[in-house]
Amino acid sequence: MNNNQANGLTYDNIGFQLEEGRPPPYTPPQGIYPPLPQGTPSYVAVTPKTINTHHTVIPGTPHNTGQKKGIKKCHWKRILCASLCVLLILAVVGLLLWYFFRLHGTNFMLQSYSSESHTWMPVCAENWDNNYGSAVCEQIGYKRQDYVSYTQTSAGSLASKGYMKLKPGSNHGSHIHSQLTYSQSCSSRAVKLHCIECGVSSAAPSTRIVGGTEAVSGAWPWQVSLQIHGQHICGGSIISPYWILSAAHCFQAYSNPGMWMVYAGDLSLLQMSFGPGKTVNKIINHEKFDTKNNDNDIALLKLNTPLTFTRTVKPVCLPNIGVDLSAGHQAWITGWGALRSSGPSPDRLNQAQVTIYSRETCNRPQVLNGEITKTMICAGKLQGGVDSCQGDSGGPLVVKEGDVWWLAGDTSWGIGCAFRNKPGVYGNVTYFIEWIYDQMQNE
């Protein structure tokens, strides 16, 4: 967090030195079937964040006839081709399972994709039960033990083209989507699905915001500290008992999962260091992350053992399609980052309120001069004085809508800390939702 301007230009929110430059604009991955809208909100605007040169160096880390041959070749080619095709089909089916379902809006309404009408439709709650709900959440990428419940909600105008409804005689033993069929009407309401209890804090944040202030215990229970040898390096957000979302740039110099420890549940870094941390099983950086400009700056950490949720350890909600996180919304940033550019870092978690700006605003010549891409958003105060800073990298940018907190961004980069007309830049989590669920489902 930062509430002071520093003389000169520095780069913040990064743990390691990056080069300058920009890659081509991000091209969203195209699924084979069904074609899906990206659902990227209008606020998406980001430019690569460059790594701070004043990072702390951690000691001990790694810095006979042709005819017969022809027949034989053809035979093996066919076998190989058939085998590869089967593997490819299985892989595609696995990857696309969750694409047949998604959650919509702040009421978590379940939608299913109709391959006949190529439309997303609400799922009718007729004959639905928690066994179906749990199975769908698993297909999306959550663990069965994370499942909360299903209830019902009004589909409203989203049911104008009909519903997807369970066929007569459906059971829980086969793929749920194959048991759904189109129906013009529904005698019940739509399915509301809670795959995980998320976005609920145990305390309200302080309303006094001038620069940054110390956070209140329980206000940001998804915030974690990512450490090496007991030293805080980056922040992250809990999205499930096994998964932490952070920024890809944090792991470029230190990519060995065994080096990292994850700490959660306390405001004080010192206090957390006395408690048990969680070891990391795997670090998944976005395959298109660009070190030159921090495009696609997102990563997932899978823990070896799950977190135990408590009053001060809880997940934040991943944004559903239809959740409004557009420009003008007030958001909150949290972290143990420096209090000014290249300045000291606090022991206790700090928080600050910022404004999300449109990509058009962020890309103005006098602001971030066209550097914000689809994979980014920018937020802060154009007048300066409030921003994230070194050490906040990977931490959350959250927005409250519908009584829960949504993860809008992960702290990525910025020009200095809290400079006038230089808002901070964050990875656009909404843009990466498909990628996130893919990783969760396949690990």
Q: CATH code at 124?
A: 3.10.250.10
Query: Do 251 and 282 form a contact (C-beta atoms < 8 A)?
Result: no
Burial class (CB in 10 A: 0-12, 13-18, 19+), 161: middle
Kind plus residue range of the DSSP H or E element containing 433? helix 433-442
Residues 233 and 366 reside in one and the same domain = yes
365 CB contacts (<8 Å, ≥6 apart)? none
229 is catalytic: no
- Asked whether the predicted pLDDT for residue 197 surpasses 60, the reply is yes
Among 144, 174, 194, residue at a domain's last position = 194
Phi/psi of residue 213, nearest 5 degrees: -135, 160
393 is catalytic: yes
Residues 259 and 364 reside in one and the same domain = yes
Q: Categorize the per-residue pLDDT at 3 as very low, low, confident or very high, splitting at 50, 70 and 90.
A: low
Residue 87 inside a domain? The answer is: no
Q: CATH code at 302?
A: 2.40.10.10
pLDDT, one tens digit per residue, over 203-221 is 988 644 336 789 999 999 9
- Asked whether the predicted pLDDT for residue 369 surpasses 70, the reply is yes
Query: Do 188 and 127 form a contact (C-beta atoms < 8 A)?
Result: no
| pLDDT in the model for residue 89 | 43
pLDDT, one tens digit per residue, over 71-99 is 334 355 555 555 555 444 444 434 444 46
Residues 184 and 246 reside in one and the same domain = no
Question: What whole-number distance in Å separates Cα of residue 156 and Cα of residue 159?
Answer: 6
Residue 63 inside a domain? The answer is: no
Judged by average pLDDT, the poorest of 31-40, 171-180, 245-254 is 31-40
- The 10 Å CB-count burial string (b at 16+, else e) for 66-100 is eeeeeeeeeeeeeeeeeeeeeeeeeeeeebbbbbb
Integer CA distances (angstroms), 60 to 8, 131, 228, 232, 279, in order: 32, 49, 10, 16, 18
Residue type, 361: T
Residues 207 and 296 reside in one and the same domain = yes
Task: List the domain range (segments joined by +) for residue 349.
Answer: 1-23+38-56+198-443
Most confident of 22-36, 71-85, 337-351: 337-351
- Asked whether the predicted pLDDT for residue 308 surpasses 50, the reply is yes
Among 194, 228, 254, residue at a domain's last position = 194
Question: What whole-number distance in Å separates Cα of residue 371 and Cα of residue 29?
Answer: 21
Catalytic residue among 393, 410, 412, 438: 393
Residues 264 and 340 reside in one and the same domain = yes
| pLDDT in the model for residue 340 | 83
Residues 185 and 242 reside in one and the same domain = no
Catalytic residue among 104, 232, 249, 286: 249
Classify 392 as helix, strand or coil.
coil
- Asked whether the predicted pLDDT for residue 39 surpasses 50, the reply is no
Among 150, 178, 194, residue at a domain's last position = 194
- Asked whether the predicted pLDDT for residue 435 surpasses 60, the reply is yes
Residue 220 inside a domain? The answer is: yes
Number of domains in the chain: 2
Residues 375 and 440 reside in one and the same domain = yes
Residues 264 and 407 reside in one and the same domain = yes
Residue 71 inside a domain? The answer is: no
pLDDT, one tens digit per residue, over 219-266 is 999 999 999 999 999 999 999 999 999 999 999 999 999 999 999 999
**Can you tell me which residue has the tokens 């990206």?**
38
Residue 72 inside a domain? The answer is: no
- Asked whether the predicted pLDDT for residue 170 surpasses 70, the reply is yes
Catalytic residue among 12, 297, 387, 410: 297
Residue 278 inside a domain? The answer is: yes
Residues 203 and 334 reside in one and the same domain = yes
Residues 164 and 205 reside in one and the same domain = no
Residue from 269, 232, 233, 236 nearest 397 by CA: 236
Share of the chain above pLDDT 70, in %: 76
Residues 170 and 233 reside in one and the same domain = no
174 is catalytic: no
Residue 344 inside a domain? The answer is: yes
Residues 243 and 263 reside in one and the same domain = yes
